[in-house]
Amino acid sequence: MSKQSNTEPLSVLTRTGLTLAGLVGLLLGLYFTIGGGMLIARGGSWYYLLAGLALCTTGVQLARRRSSAFVIYLVMLIATALWAVWEAGFDFWPLNTRIFMFSMIGMLLAPFWPVLRRGEGKAPARGAAWALAAVLLVCNAAFIYGMFVPHGKFGTETPTAAAGNAGTEDWTAYGHSAGGDRFAGATQINRDTVKNLQVAWTFHTGDTPMSPDGGGSEDQETPLQVGKTLFLCSPHNTVIAVDAATGTEKWRHAFATHTTVWVRCRGLAYFDATKPLVQPTATGSTPVSPIAPAGDPAACRRRIFMNTIDAKLVALDADTGKLCDDFGDHGIIDLKAGLGKAKSPLYQLTSAPTVAGTTVVTGGRVADNVTLDMPGGVIRGFDVMTGKMKWAFDPGNPDDHAAPEQGKTFTRSTPNVWAPMTYDATSNTVYMPVGNAAIDLWGVKRTALDETYGASILALDATTGAEKWHFQTVHHDLWDYDVPMQPTLIDFPTQDGKRVPALIVGTKMGQLFVLDRLTGKPLTQVVEHPVKPATIPNEPYAKTQPLSVGMPQIGADVLKDSDMWGVTPIDQLMCRVIFRGMRYDGLFTAPDTDHSLSFPGSLGGMNWGGLSYDPNSDMIYVNDMRLGLWVHLEKAKNRGGASDGNEAVNAGMGAVPLGGTPYSVLKDRFFSPLGIPCQKPPFGSLTAVDLKTRSIAWQVPLGTVKDTRLYGVQMHMPTPIGMPTIGGSLTTAGGLVFFAATQDYYLRAFDSSTGKEVWKARLPVGSQGTPMSYAIDGKQYIVISAGGARQSPDRGDYVIAYALPGHP
């Protein structure tokens, strides 16, 4: 007599579903097996190969309708969790990418385990299956919840008192003051009242920037405010004056600029001839020159200066918007004079001029990596009233401060100053962030003076143009690590309780350098760090590079395999394979004919947005982006055509020749196949640095993926992962830090003592500008310019002011 079978036949639908699930599992397993094998061949982790084999086995057993499929998968899942904690610790985003996808699959598979067991004639074990599903459900819920919680390094959650500063001075320079502090002394808007902020007015400039890759037109301005007038500049160089309390237009002056590459105006400069001159007090300083007599004593006593994208310096009457006829050639100076061949956009200006006493100082952006023969990076000082050139500082001929003789030019292809400058009235000194010679990636033909001034902070006498000192932040720069931001003047607290007049500047390498203003000597420890050379023939590689170890290094960690990231283990594996396939020696990995990784890349780190400084609390606030860049040099074949001066990454253009060198260059961001940075989040942060302790007080991820698009699809998820930032911050005596230039469309306020987000307002489009603030008739305003976030198709022409409701 035969024994009766307890096997329960499965329905056709169940068998089909299990077969399809098995096929998916097998394909996923093959991906991890092949990718894991590639990773092992490159010296990477064995985990992915082993996980791939387990997934293949799971898929086969599912298709065979065997209950062991779930057991094998469960063992793999547990091993994955243990491996993830071993490799990444309890850092949320690395754990999420390693475990979440697999735990979701496990949760969905668990209910099928009893079905498979019944099909084999075994006890269903429903209780165990549903218990496992419940545990995985809780784990997955925790992962999902964690996606909407900021993760990162936080400081104390106990706010310190905001030190009130009664100052309500105007915002008369790009960085608020000539010292670039980006600090507003008004306290009406503070930690207690900021929640009540609302839109006071909205103004439209009429100039909507368009830029599919970031190399076209962008709105990146910080307005000026003098008295009851706000002065704006649009990307295409229209200057507009509006009523600062109502947003009503007073006048506008448009300039006919025609360039289509790197179109932006970051700011303006202001001079008031009716106010007494401030003379320096530091011993040995050169006096500020007296104001030259004006042609019309009643005209243009208050002046607005702008650098245009087609390389002109213009002076406008701040009251009427008309050109100042007594300045230069009827209000205009051609900055291409003396440069030789300098067509736009290979030479142009995007940063504001700097008023230094009675001298207005300009640098110039020389497009990178086009050709060895480019315009020089001369810096010039002009009389604020007549426009007559007072001096020139030619990095290729630093002792001659005169204009070149007829038929000659300033030295070609020298390091340039494209970012904003800073002026110290106490010593009559201009501090300049210096870039590099014409070709960043190949330095065989650089001169000794190129090597001296490249990537340095340069201090010049504002009256004479004579050099006072310079300090180099990168030796023989091959990475486009030019100094990207305006130095900020601070009173630096020393460990013996004294204060030293100093400046602080951030770099694309995530470094913060603190220098004595009078001597240029570092006030915190800077070491010469040994670095490895590459193999380009005749390249005089630097053997060491300066690292500012006495201050926090922000976003400049040396990447490891375990730092590779992805939305899922699928793209994480690909990032690990790509990472292992490149040469990477840490910071300052030199480019070569292989594929090398530079992290941070040439975008930073920190960039032109600069720092903000709270003198009451001795804190600075730093925003950064964390984007790597891979670079590949190849023997020049002219396959892609010469660069047009657009400094957006060029992977889609083919290999672009570096004119005058033996090489072309191919480069791109270190992204996964999904277009996401390959290293773990955050990709951008806001950091408070305590100058007294020289340490990080707090750090928070900055921005969400809400408005980010992947393959044209908007994410809509307010996940605070921390996105790349541009622009800069504003700090206030009310205990707040404002920031807008994230990839999502918000203006945010943070508690300056804890980093806690205390307010945010939705903008109509994203912003790349820096917030500013002022007070008029007892009412404080916060103003932001919003023309569209980087890489966003949503564009506008908004300038928006926020204030508290009601009257003072």
Distance from C-alpha of 433 to C-alpha of 318, rounded to nearest angstrom = 28
The three-state secondary structure class of 562 is: helix
**Contacts of 405 by beta carbon, 8 Å cutoff, 6+ apart:** none
The three-state secondary structure class of 109 is: helix
Distance from C-alpha of 354 to C-alpha of 370, rounded to nearest angstrom = 28
Angle between helices 12-41 and 112-119 (to 10 degrees): 110
Rounded to an integer, what is the distance from CA 410 to the centroid of its chain?
32
Q: What is the DSSP letter of 144?
A: H
The three-state secondary structure class of 55 is: helix
**Greatest CA separation found in the chain?**
124
Instruction: Name which of 93, 92, 58, 64 is nearest 77 in CA terms.
Output: 58
CB atoms within 10 A of CB 167: 13
**Contacts of 23 by beta carbon, 8 Å cutoff, 6+ apart:** 59, 63
The one-letter amino acid at 358? T
Structure tokens at 409: 């030019």
Q: Which is the catalytic residue, given 480, 563, 571, 624?
A: 480
**Contacts of 108 by beta carbon, 8 Å cutoff, 6+ apart:** none
Task: Give the C-alpha distances (Å, rounded to integers) separating 675 from 56, 60, 718.
Answer: 28, 32, 18
CB atoms within 10 A of CB 3: 5
Is 448 buried (19+), middle (13-18) or exposed (0-12) by CB count in 10 A? exposed
The three-state secondary structure class of 216 is: coil
601 in Cβ contact with 670 (< 8 Å)? yes
The residues with which 713 forms a beta bridge, in sequence order, are 710
Phi and psi, residue 614, nearest 5°: -100, 105
Dihedral of CA atoms 105, 110, 112, 113 in degrees, nearest 10, equals 130
Structure tokens at 717: 């998820």
Rounded to an integer, what is the distance from CA 468 to the centroid of its chain?
30
Sign of the torsion formed by the C-alpha atoms of 509, 513, 518 and 519: negative
Is 378 buried (19+), middle (13-18) or exposed (0-12) by CB count in 10 A? buried
Secondary-structure breakdown of the chain: helix, strand, coil percentages, each rounded to the nearest 5: 20, 25, 55
Judge whether 480 counts as a catalytic residue. yes
Distance from C-alpha of 140 to C-alpha of 158, rounded to nearest angstrom = 32
Structure tokens at 406: 């007829």
Phi and psi, residue 580, nearest 5°: -70, -20
Residues annotated as catalytic are: 480
